[in-house]
Amino acid sequence: MRIYLLLALLTFLFVDSYAQEDWCTNPPAGVSQGGFNVAGSSNGCAPFDVKVEKTVGDNYKYIYDYKGGSPLKAPYVPEDVTTHKYLKQGTYKILQLGSNGSGSVFCRTVNVYSPPNFTVRACSNRKIQVVIADDSTTKLYDGFTIDWGGVKENVSKPGVYTHSYSAATILATVFVTGSIGGQSLGCSIPSATIAINNVDLSTTSIRRVTLNNDGSVAVLIRAPVGTTTSVQVSQNSGAFTGLPGQITLTRDTATITVRDVNALKDTYCFRLNTNDGCANNAALTSNVVCATPLEVKAENRQNVAAWKEYPNAADFQSYRITRNLVSLGGASVRTNTTQTDANVTCGEQYCYQVTVRLVGGAESVSPSVCVKAISTEFPTVVQNAFVTVADEGKINIFATPPASGATPAKFKTIFFRTENGSGDFKEVASLDNLLSYVDNAVNPNQQSYCYRIAYENSCGNRSQPSEPLCSIYLSSKSGSTIDWTPETPFLVPVNRYQLEILDEQGNPYDQVPVGVNTSYSPNVSDQQLFRYRILGFGQGGGNSNSYSNYYVFKKNALLFIPDVFSPNGDNVNDVFAPKGQFVDKSRMIVYNRWGQVLFETSNALEGWDGTINGQPAVEGTYVFRIEITDSLGANFVKTGTVLLAR
């Protein structure tokens, strides 16, 4: 209760003139001085746990991060706890509010530190380098202790420090701690365990120089991990100059791409200027490797590759050229800087690359240069071509490759079409690697269509179009004949035709040889429907034949209905029944003159015997309705009157 009275009293004493004052240096009038200590040191490492201990009075509250102004207003919330954890680096004021007399105020300061920032690097010759950063964190310390892994070294300021290790040491872990007033606070972040570097910088070398198609160069280097290197370049045998930037290896190999050059035009050679990234270690230069440009030209039925002689004769061992990554011709003598490849197929792409093998296992690799083989040979006309009408009403065109100039792995077939014998052929399709075509854009049931075919090989050389190939169109020019077009569907004349007859169900009914005639008179039969198709055969035999479209001869169902019958039991015209041909289903209804149904049957062909409910019907005229479904599924109705006379 007393602490709340204290706060109320302090609030009463507080005036607006103190709104921006620091109560630690200028407390309100009438407020006495409290007292507390910080247990242990007032300096510590984040996270830093602080405990306060009062020295006078009772009933205290604390603000652990006081920044000035009234502690009785937001954002401050006085606490009665005596411990606090500081998570971040900084200098913090602790403000105590007490109840001594008319109230009391007291302040103390604590300093929270972060571990000093430092980096560790393995240097050549079994040395490790520590760099203590000169930043806002380390500036708070007045000294540092470097623990090299059992051996400690005190230093007074940030900077670069090195330590040598014995041959027995393989791994080392380094710590750096800061101190205040000569006392270490123990703040430290351990470095990652680092391997001692036994490698000599002289092992750094260029292993491969690869020239790219845009003139840039990829330099593959090998060096100890942690080695810092830069590329130096010589243009057209000039002095070596360094390129901007360095690379520090995190693995034992790395690729550096040099872009600000055009090694396709000029001669560029490369070497490395290498150090281990540690202070006071002298840089070394590596072996020299030069870029190798390559030119490839496609000539008639051969490709010719050529490259410059390697400029450093003392380092040269051999050339190796590959085609599509497979060795071509093996290693050659130094003076052989051309390669002719006559084993090529027109239109195929071939990629060539030259590798210069140098002493020490280094290599210079040219760009991969690709060309498409060419030829001046034109293909002949396609063979065995023909057109035929498929069952689904489409026209199919087939052919086999030309006798010469064909490229089976890659080609185009171009199809041209004309209609109604106009002679104006237009391209309708260009297909890759196909010698057949289905023309879905035509209706072979309406007319004949003529086609020509051209063949284009992989070199882009195109044959002459074939002679016209025309589909067989079957129709009827009169009511008694079926007729078909005479134009050949083959590249040769028609040898003979054959007429195929199919019944109503589509089953083969008969085959009639018709020679080279283009017209035929079918016989009358008791079938309601016949389908006809012409099959043509070309001269010279072979397996090719050509079908026409289907043509249908269809008869209507026949129905004879008598207009009078006499059901008198003399077995002559006793039943009123229709007679029919091609009738599949029938139904008959007989009405009187007032429209009443007198008789009904689901088989009209059985007829009506002239009785009603077993009693003879009276003489007179009756109305009938006959419903018929023919053998093709067509429906029709016959109505009329019939006279019943006894």
pLDDT of res. 333:
54
Of 558, 605, 554, 602, which is closest to residue 582 (Cα–Cα)?
Answer: 558
Query: What's the Rg (C-alpha) of the chain?
Result: 54
Per CATH, which fold does 558-644 belong to? Immunoglobulin-like (2.60.40)
Distance CA 466, CA 333 (A): 52
For residue 403, the tally of other CB atoms under 10 A from its CB is 11
Specify the CATH number for 201-290; select among 2.60.40.10, 3.40.50.300, 2.40.37.10, 2.170.190.11.
2.60.40.10
pLDDT at 594 over 60: yes
pLDDT band with cut points at 50, 70 and 90 for residue 213: very high
Pair 581, 613: CB distance under 8 Å? no
Distance CA 415, CA 125 (A): 77
pLDDT of res. 160:
92
Regarding predicted confidence, which is higher, 224 or 300? 300
Mean of the per-residue pLDDT values for the chain? 88
- Percentage of residues of the chain with pLDDT beyond 90: 62
Is the CATH code 2.60.40.10 the one for domain 294-372?
yes
Summarised one tens digit per residue, pLDDT across range 464-494 is 999 999 999 999 887 678 899 999 999 999 9
Is the CATH code 2.60.40.10 the one for domain 474-554?
yes
Pair 635, 627: CB distance under 8 Å? yes
β-pairing, 338-341 vs 183-184, is unpaired
Question: 3-class DSSP state for residue 437?
Answer: strand
Distance CA 411, CA 516 (A): 37
Kind and range of the H or E run holding 221:
strand 217-222
Query: For residues 210-223, b (16+ Cβ closer than 10 Å) or e, as one string?
Result: bbbeebbbbbbbbb
Of 521, 498, 518, which is closest to residue 510 (Cα–Cα)?
Answer: 498
Task: Give the list of residues 6+ apart from residue 196 with CB closer than 8 angstroms, or none.
Answer: 122, 126, 128, 165, 169, 170, 171, 172
Summarised one tens digit per residue, pLDDT across range 496-508 is 999 998 876 778 8
Question: Which of these ranges, 99-103, 207-211, 212-216, 479-483, has the smallest mean pLDDT?
Answer: 99-103
Q: Would you give the DSSP letter of residue 22?
A: -
User: What's the CA dihedral at 520, 525, 530, 533 to 10 degrees?
Assistant: -30
**Which of the given ranges, 13-27, 163-177, 431-445, has the highest pLDDT on average?**
431-445
pLDDT of res. 201:
81
Residues in the chain: 646
Give yes or no on whether 294-372 and 558-644 have one common fold.
Answer: yes
Distance CA 98, CA 249 (A): 62
Say which amino acid occupies 160: V
**Residue 36 token pair:** 């507390």
| DSSP notation for 50-100 | EEEEE-S-S--EEESS--SS-TTSTT---B--SEEEE-SSEEEEEEEEE-S
Per CATH, which fold does 383-470 belong to? Immunoglobulin-like (2.60.40)
Is the CA virtual torsion 68, 70, 71, 76 positive or negative?
negative
pLDDT of res. 125:
82
Give whole-number Cα distances, 576 to 589, 594, 626, in Å: 12, 20, 12
Summarised one tens digit per residue, pLDDT across range 99-145 is 766 789 999 999 999 999 999 988 888 889 999 999 988 988 989 99
CATH class given for the domain over 2-113? mainly beta
pLDDT at 73 over 60: yes
Pair 226, 275: CB distance under 8 Å? no
pLDDT of res. 380:
96
pLDDT at 2 over 70: no
CA angle (377, 382, 386) in 5-degree steps: 170
Distance CA 325, CA 597 (A): 94
Q: What is the mean pLDDT of residues 436-440?
A: 96
| DSSP notation for 235-269 | ETT---EEPS--EE-SSSEEEEEE-S--TTTS-EE
Domain assignments of the chain as residue spans, ordered by start: 2-113, 118-195, 201-290, 294-372, 383-470, 474-554, 558-644
Question: Which of these ranges, 224-233, 269-278, 289-298, 501-510, has the smallest mean pLDDT?
Answer: 501-510
pLDDT band with cut points at 50, 70 and 90 for residue 334: low
Pair 46, 114: CB distance under 8 Å? yes
Distance CA 323, CA 351 (A): 6
**Phi, then psi, of 16 in degrees rounded to 5:** -60, -25
Distance CA 437, CA 18 (A): 99
Question: Which of these ranges, 370-374, 480-484, 560-564, has the smallest mean pLDDT?
Answer: 480-484
β-pairing, 61-63 vs 519-520, is unpaired
Specify the CATH number for 118-195; select among 3.40.50.720, 2.60.40.10, 3.40.190.10, 3.10.129.10.
2.60.40.10
Pair 113, 97: CB distance under 8 Å? no
pLDDT band with cut points at 50, 70 and 90 for residue 335: low
Pair 465, 454: CB distance under 8 Å? yes
pLDDT at 176 over 80: yes
